[in-house]
Amino acid sequence: MMAMGLLWMGLALLQTLQTQAQTGAQTGAQTEAQDSHQEIPVQPGFIEDRFVGTWYSVGLASTFPWFLKKKAEMLMCKTVLTPEADGTVNLTATFVSNNQCETRTSLLRKTEQPGHYVYKSIKWGSEHNIFVVETNYEEYTLLYTTKTKGNSNFNMATLYSRTKDIRPELKERFIRFAENHGFTEDNIVILPKTDQCIDEN
């Protein structure tokens, strides 16, 4: 199975965090989506040039069935977003898995709505919709991701930071954001800071 991680993205921005938590897990569990795409807002006046660059995953909320079992093992990951000449955005996420450094790369495609990206996984037969709900570009961003695979729908919310440290107020903001989108306390985690694999240099 795929994330995020997603930084995203990141995301976690999104796919990477899923991969990190799903090592050895099986696919097939299902849950209902909590929001339609039309109900998910994006950052007003979204500016992609200010959004791309390096982000660190700080908070994660997920309805993925493996999440409760794996969340205690998850660590912060690093996501780098790079615009490509064809208009896509290259998402490269680096994270720790089984005490080794792993990297995952995905291409995010723009939609007609600035701040809304789509990633399709041919390997896993899934489609990811990534929404940049809120960001100040220089400090933090809040992402909401939906994943559809067949008749199954899953949701994820992610808090990303430009640095490995983030103000406590923004962590609380993320928790409220996740709760407002239907995630329970058990579905929300603040990811432990790590230097392994994701040093800032």
DSSP 139: S
Q: Is 85 exposed, middle or buried (0-12, 13-18, 19+ CB in 10 A)?
A: exposed
Structure tokens at 125: 């037969």
Distances (CA, A) of 13 to 3, 116, 120, 151, 169: 6, 13, 13, 23, 22
The answer to whether the CB of 167 falls within 8 A of the CB of 189 is: no
The answer to whether the CB of 4 falls within 8 A of the CB of 14 is: yes
Closest CA relative to residue 161, chosen from 171, 152, 151, 153: 171
Structure tokens at 150: 């067949």
The question of whether 101 is a catalytic residue gets the answer no
Task: Considering the candidates 17, 61, 77, 197, report the single residue annotated as catalytic.
Answer: 77
Closest CA relative to residue 16, chosen from 101, 83, 113: 101
Q: How many residues does the chain have?
A: 201
> Which residues are the active-site residues?
77
